[in-house]
Amino acid sequence: MKKSLEDDHHCFVCGEKNPQGLRVRFSLQDDKVKAEFIPQKVHQGYKDIIHGGIISTLLDEAMVKTALMQGMPAVTAKITIRFKNPLMSGEKSIVEAEIIKINKRMIETSAIIKKTDGTVVAESYAKLLRKD
């Protein structure tokens, strides 16, 4: 039985009804999804350094959103992440994602998180399973 994807607005990353969530707002611009994120101390791993799990979660969400916001509901099937530089508590970052390739069942995507000075925090690639 195929289960449909439903948004109840409690997503950890973008859900406006999730009081413990990140509440990131994504927008679609020129076939790319973009968002700003300013991590807080509660998002750290080591002192003042944002936890890699939070960064991974942002990248994952951005790649799924880039498909969803272009009319292709999908879920992550495979993801790879390369961390390049630390993101510090209170440091503004920009996450961007785009679709690389689309076929009948899969969508290939990439995403990047950068600091406002252009320093790359992390890059990722994912294969998404289409759910439409």
48-72 pLDDT tens trace:
999 999 999 999 999 999 999 999 9
Q: How many domains does the chain have?
A: 1
CA–CA gap between residue 112 and residue 120 (Å, rounded): 7
DSSP structure string for 49-98 = BBPHHHHHHHHHHHHHHHHHTTT--EEEEEEEEEE-S--BTT--EEEEEE
CATH assignment of the domain containing 102 = 3.10.129.10
pLDDT band at 1 (very low <50, low <70, confident <90, very high): very low
pLDDT > 90? residue 14:
no
The pTM (predicted TM-score) of the whole model is: 0.92
Of 1-5, 43-47, 99-103, which gets the smallest average pLDDT? Answer: 1-5
**What is the domain range of residue 68?**
33-130
Q: Is residue 96 part of a domain?
A: yes
Residue 10: the pLDDT is: 85
Task: Give me the sign of the Cα torsion angle 80, 116, 63, 53.
Answer: positive
Q: Is residue 11 part of a domain?
A: no
Percent of the chain having pLDDT more than 70? 98
What Å distances lie between residue 66 and 1, 48, 82, 104, 106, CA to CA? Answer: 26, 30, 19, 17, 13
Q: Rounded to an integer, what is the distance from CA 37 to the centroid of its chain?
A: 11
Residue 98: the pLDDT is: 98
DSSP structure string for 23-52 = ----EEETTEEEEEE---GGGBSSTTBBPH
